[in-house]
Amino acid sequence: MALTLPTRIEVSRLGWAAYALAGLTVALDQLSKAWFLSLHLGPAERLPVLPPIFYLSSVANDGVSFGLLKAHNGPMRWVLVGLALVVAGALADYARKTTRPLIAAALGLIIGGAVGNNLIDRVRFGSVVDFLDFSGLYFPWVFNVADSAITVGVVLLIADLYFAQKKA
């Protein structure tokens, strides 16, 4: 049995919007990290932005969300890169067929965040570059634009599920 590939892959208008938002998310994430890295802060340094609430702090996160499952630049690093490829690919495939704006926005943000953090950063640096530090608000984790995009994307998915159930 021969494997046949589709001759043309259809992408909905909202699918294209999701891809555009993913690209924008990756660009904002990588530009913000490039800017931050140009500051050359050491690992123990904190740059006050809005003290005592907001600082810029240099953290190389080699784990997954919130520093869990540390990869320590070993084989787990490449497992996380592979996982990001699979997840981003599956979400991109789902996005191409979407007909709901909230789902398109959510998928675009999640795809962009996964590519920015778990693909680009892990391949380039071996870890994720985190620098947004709101510890003055008793939020103990340092994060970045991609983390924020993934979080907002998940909230949008939950909101879409909630509103879809209310309609039904």
Active-site positions read 130, 147
Region for residue 73 given its phi and psi (left: phi exceeds 0; alpha: psi -120 to 50; beta: otherwise)? left
Distance CA(155)–CA(163), nearest Å, equals 12
- Which residues are registered as beta bridge partners of 133? 55, 142
Contact 131, 59 (CB under 8 A): yes
State both tokens at 150.
């993934």
- Which residues are registered as beta bridge partners of 143? 132
